[in-house]
Structure 1
Amino acid sequence: MDRHGFLRHLHRVYKPRNYLEIGVNDGRSLALSRVPSVAVDPAFKVVTSISCDVHLVKATSDDFFARKDPLLHLRNGRNPFRALARRDPVNLLGGDPKLELSFIDGMHLFEFALRDFMNVEKHSRWSSVIVLDDMLPRDIDEAARDRHTNAWTGDVYKVATVLRRYRPDLLVVEVDTKPTGVVVVFGANPESTVLKDSYDEIIKEYVVPDPQQVPEEVMVRKNAIAPEILLGADFWRPLSRARDLRRGHSAFGPLRKRIEAVGH
């Protein structure tokens, strides 16, 4: 299954009520959304029919998140879920909207992808789902910071390593999608400042010249699970329900165990 097939099925099983995409390119992944969406890319060239209420932002993701109210569209745009307004008035009709499904596929350099994750997490809940693309390079050349191959992931694979090291509270799942894999992150905590506080230290250690020392287990996808297994797991319905009912972070514990058990 390729990344677009994975995203298509993810929309179906998780049923997000909004969607954020960083890195639009030709719009093929954005075309999978049917909910209010925000899509950010400094040079998008959408050639695909889009079937959602979308705010296309021609800007870098750093500039986008620096705006006073970057997710204004998700609060004030058309929303097919107004029947749920009494249950979730902050998320649907006012206040600070929280992202439910986010897809990060921007600049293929570690520091950019890490900042994208940090910014997305600020606008998410524990029940949100954050997907990062191009996380499983197949060889060292593909993972180079200085692009010299047709297929190129850059060194964004390091984000998973950093999240596991600095944020063990998160659950980071590698998924064996074609061609270059994705990582799905569960348990976001918008109150965490760990990555922000450690950012300079992290950059100093992980931003290094080519060639990159890609771990063998990443290239052979030793810890990656099949997308069909993750998408077919039984935790999606309770995760969506917890999201819709805005359950507190304490509800993540039992669900985390169910997610961790997938593929084992």
Structure 2
Amino acid sequence: MKRHEFLRELHKVTANRNYLEIGVNDGRSLTLSRVPSVAIDPAFKVVTEIRCDVHLAKATSDDFFARDNPLVHLRGGRHPLRQLARNRSPLAYWRRTTLDLSFIDGMHLFEYALRDFINVEKHSDWASVIVFDDMLPRSIDEAARDRHTNAWTGDVYKLIEILARYRPDLVTVLVDTQPTGQLVVFGADPTNTVLKDKYEEILAEYNVADPQKVPETVLERASAVKPETFTGAGFWGPLVRARNRGTKRSRGWEPLRRSLEQLGGAR
């Protein structure tokens, strides 16, 4: 299954009510969304028809998330001053927006992808689904930090190890999509600051010169789950119902974790 086919299936099984995308490029992934969306890219060149209500932000993801209320569009696009002028309560406007489905496909260097995750997690919760693209490079050359190939994943694959090491509270699933795999993350905790606190430490350890020593398990896709197995799993219905009911983490996360851990590639 190709990456965009997989993303199409994720939009179905997550029944997401909103969508965030980092790295728009020509819009081929954004065109899959049918819900209120936010898409971020400093140099997008959309050539595909977009069929959703979208805020297309021409900015780096760091700059975008530094804005006040960056996800205002997902609250219905109402400006708070206009809302107050109409004698409406601002409480609904300022209530925290939680992302249902996020796709991270920005700059192909691990430190950028890590910052993207840190920012996205602040607006997510245990029932959110966060997807990293290009996590299974096919060669050492394709995984180089200094791009010298046509197809290029960069070293974002390092997030597999970084999340497993620093955030064992999360569950991650490698998915064997074509051409370069994806990593799906569950259990986000917006109150957790470990990655932010340890960012400089992580950067010092993992920012190494080419050629990268890509683990054989990554190159061979040893623990990656077939996309059809993943999207056809039985936990999606309970996850969606719990999310829509506003089920608290204390009640919803452990059943989901147990279901995820039954998948061969879950960590």
TM range (shorter): over 0.9
User: For 1:92 and 1:34, how far apart are their aligned partners in 2?
Assistant: 23
Which letter maps to 2:254?
A: G
- Quick one: structure 1 residues 222 and 186, their matched pair in 2 at CA, closer, same or farther if it must change by over 3 Å? same
Matched, 1:117 2:137: no
For the residue of structure 2 that corresponds to 1:143, the secondary structure is coil
Q: What is the distance in 2 between the residues matched to 1:23 and 1:207?
A: 22
8 Å Cα contact 1:76/1:94 also seen in 2? no
Q: Deviations over 1:146-178 (max 9, x none)?
A: 000011000000011100000000001100000
Partner of 2:45: 45
TM-score by length of 1: 0.93
Deviation at 1:246, TM superposition (A): 1.2
| Equivalent AA in structure 1 for residue 198 of structure 2 | S
Distance in 2 (CA, whole Å) between partners of 1:244 and 1:106 is 29
| Counterpart AA for 1:58 | K
CA distance in 1, matches of 2:53, 2:159: 30
Residue 142 of structure 1 aligns to a residue whose secondary structure is coil
Whether contact under 8 Å (2:223, 2:264) holds in the other structure is: no
In 1, the alpha carbon distance for the partners of 2:140 and 2:212 equals: 6
- The 1-side partners of 2:75 and 2:36 are apart by 9
Equivalent pairs, count: 253
- Alpha carbon RMSD of aligned pairs, Å? 1.5
TM-superposed CA distance for 1:34, in Å, is: 0.3
Match of 2:33 in 1: 33
The aligned residue for residue 258 of structure 2 is 257
Identity of aligned residues (%): 68
Q: Report deviation, 1:262.
A: 2.2
Aligned position for 1:21: 21
How far 1:260 sits from its partner (Å)?
A: 1.3
Cα deviation, residue 249, structure 1: 1.1
Structure 2 unaligned regions, length at least 5: 79-89
2:204 is the alignment partner of 1:190: no
For the residues of structure 2 that align with 1:120 and 1:77, how far apart are their CA atoms? 19
Q: Which residue of 1 aligns with 2:76?
A: 76
Change (3 A) 1:146 1:193: same
Measure, in 2, the Cα distance between the counterparts of 1:16 and 1:69. 21
Secondary structure (helix, strand or coil) at the match of 1:163 reads: helix
SS in 1 for 2:147: coil
CA separation in 2, counterparts of 1:263 and 1:197?
31
Match of 1:87 in 2: none
Give 4+ residue runs of structure 1 displaced > 2 Å after superposition.
90-94
- Report the 3-state secondary structure (helix = DSSP H, G, I; strand = E; otherwise coil) of the residue aligned with 1:131: strand
After superposition, the C-alpha distances for 1:108-132 in whole angstroms (9 at most, x for unaligned) are 0010000000100000011000000
Equivalent-residue separation in structure 2 for 1:98 and 1:110 (angstroms): 24
**Aligned match of 1:105:** 105
1:75–1:91 Cα contact (<8 Å) kept: no
